[in-house]
Structure 1
Amino acid sequence: MKNKPAYILKVTCPGRVGIVAAIGNFLADRGCFIKELHQYDDLNSGRFFSTIEFVFEGEHTPSVEQLKAAFEVTALRFDMQWEIHDASRPARVLVMVSRYDHCLRDLLYRRATGELNVEFTAIVSNHEDLRPMAEHAGVEYVHLPVTPENKPRQEARLLEIIEATDTDLVVLARYMQVLSDSLCRRLAGRCINIHHSFLPGFKGAKPYQQAYERGVKLIGATAHYVTADLDEGPIIEQMVERVSHAHDPEHLTQVGRDIEAQTLARAVKYHAHHRVFQNGLRTVVF
């Protein structure tokens, strides 16, 4: 069973009696062994959420397409929004960066060690600074400098690259440009951003210097889906670490870089492993 192909069924639908039984019966009737199951009923929204990883115990293993065709009857019965994925298939990820390298470096390392089941389709940047890092990792580097005048044209080029590379997920790994509302809508649910989290919120240049000047006691980071509302999309992951008056701006920046990298990596992993559902303005993360 260890070496057999695994699949992931991802389901959300209106909550009602019999959903888990129907899914379980569908899998049991096909000789499936459930490796892992997560479920959650949101009593406020009235929706059910679940991910199930399973393998086939028999000799014959159907294709993903055959599974989807067979599951359609059950899905229609419960008005499900659902997906079936080959668990071994890496998520195809396009990373966007500017000049900061810590998040990109961390993602490349986690991919190299096998922690992230992803394949990088391209690294896109508005600067040339990180080209050597991309080339060392064997990932195509695309330079798309952005100005107010060429921004629509460059975003159109970005969409062409996403489509041509069959990209599943776009990751803004400290990409220091604001995406247009139309691009945010085109990438809804498949674009993740990372940013620092402070109380009070410090925007603009040198946020860690501002945090130092205000005596911040917690450094944090938030990874979220990108929407047209800047930095207000559904949150996937957050992390914090306590700091003190002894932390100067340089030390705060070091702590912040580490937390940003960890938080973004976790969010990418959850999405790539099909463990994230959007639930209105919130998320359900297994």
Structure 2
Amino acid sequence: MSHSYILTLSCPDRLGLVHAVSGFLLEHGGNVEEAAQYNDHATGLFFMRVQFACAPHDRASLQDQLARFAEPHQMRWSLHATDQPIKTVLLVSKEGHCLNDLLFRWKSGLLSVDIRAIISNHRDFYQLAASYNVPFHHLPVTPATKAQAEARQLEIIEAESAELVVLARYMQVLSDALCQRLTGRAINIHHSFLPSFKGAKPYAQAHDRGVKLIGATAHYVTPDLDEGPIIEQDVTRAEHTDTVEALTARGRDTESQVLARAVKWHSEHRVLLNGHKTVIFR
């Protein structure tokens, strides 16, 4: 029997880093199954993702040894067991195409996530949640109750030990404080090819400009609205005959696919932050 892990790391670039990492794994009985690395010459940073198998031993001990190895290289690193899906909480408002798609992919074994709860400011999808046996939390949000609602959201997220929060068309702007608490573990889907058409009603904005392509963007949530590091984007063609409603309907398929890819890559620890950008090891 062996255990499989994923090691991700970033550090200042220097000669011999791949050799050093592979040598460390060999020294500790690790067999590399998949590896990818990237040198960002603009920032001088090195990024790496390694999946490896090794004989069962104390994970805490392995992490201690990794910490000692990483320190002189100034590495930021994380270690994940491949057999442990990421605990996830989904947030949604009144449009359920992304929610429905994620739930189906999860139950079909296509996403390495463990969906622990759904939070919504509307009741529309409580039956959908029940059909997947996922707890549904209805938390109405008004300007007067926003702070209390967010406090309760955070309670649920922490109670479920959620490592990932997905805004699956959740149409409330999170406060700066909540964005900070969820740094690096909250993904939003924006129904626009950012940085174009930020904010509300992007399909109406796109229609008004007569665009020939409409798109969707999955990105990490930051206090700067719709400006977080981008994980994935895609587009579909628009016709001059399209109404706003037709653009919206066509765009929903793109949104669902883009968000699913972003969640999949994040759950497989293929996304590393590089300042305001991301490195994706597909």
Task: Please state which band the TM-score falls in when normalised by the shorter chain.
Answer: over 0.9
1:44 aligned residue (27, 42, 45): 42
| Alignment: residue pair count | 280
Give the whole-Å Cα distance in 2 for the aligned partners of 1:220 and 1:4.
Answer: 43
Give the whole-Å Cα distance in 2 for the aligned partners of 1:120 and 1:86.
Answer: 18
Runs of 5+ consecutive residues of structure 1 not aligned to the other structure: none
Q: Which residue of structure 2 aligns with residue 170 of structure 1? A: 165
Pair 1:127 & 2:122 matched: yes
Q: Which residue of structure 2 aligns with residue 54 of structure 1? A: 52
Contact preservation (8 Å) 1:222, 1:239: yes
Report deviation, 1:5. Answer: 2.7
Secondary structure of 2:191 counterpart? strand
Q: Which residue of structure 1 aligns with residue 100 of structure 2? A: 105
Secondary structure of 1:69 counterpart? helix
Q: Which residue of structure 1 aligns with residue 21 of structure 2? A: 23
1:55-112 CA-to-partner distances (Å, cap 9, x unmatched) read 12xxx41132121112222101201111111011000110000010000000001101
Q: Which residue of structure 2 aligns with residue 266 of structure 1? A: 261
1:144-155 equivalences under 5 Å are 144-155=139-150
1:150-208 CA-to-partner distances (Å, cap 9, x unmatched) read 11111111111111110001100000100011111111111110112258526434x43
Which is further off, 193-202 or 175-184? 193-202
Cα-Cα RMSD: 1.5
Contact preservation (8 Å) 2:35, 2:49: yes
Pair 1:201 & 2:194 matched: no
1:257 aligned residue (249, 252, 272): 252
Give the whole-Å Cα distance in 2 for the aligned partners of 1:160 and 1:68.
Answer: 29
When normalised by structure 2's length, the TM-score is: 0.95
1:202-251 CA-to-partner distances (Å, cap 9, x unmatched) read 6434x434433432200100000111110011101101112222433333
Give the whole-Å Cα distance in 2 for the aligned partners of 1:81 and 1:203.
Answer: 33
Contact preservation (8 Å) 1:64, 1:85: no
Contact preservation (8 Å) 1:64, 1:86: no
The one-letter code sitting in structure 2 at the alignment partner of 1:180 is: S
Runs of 5+ consecutive residues of structure 2 not aligned to the other structure: none
Give the whole-Å Cα distance in 1 for the aligned partners of 2:63 and 2:109.
Answer: 28
Q: Which residue of structure 1 aligns with residue 30 of structure 2? A: 32
Contact preservation (8 Å) 1:99, 1:129: yes
Q: Which residue of structure 2 aligns with residue 140 of structure 1? A: 135
Secondary structure of 2:67 counterpart? helix
1:106-159 CA-to-partner distances (Å, cap 9, x unmatched) read 000110111101001110000000111111011000011001111111111111
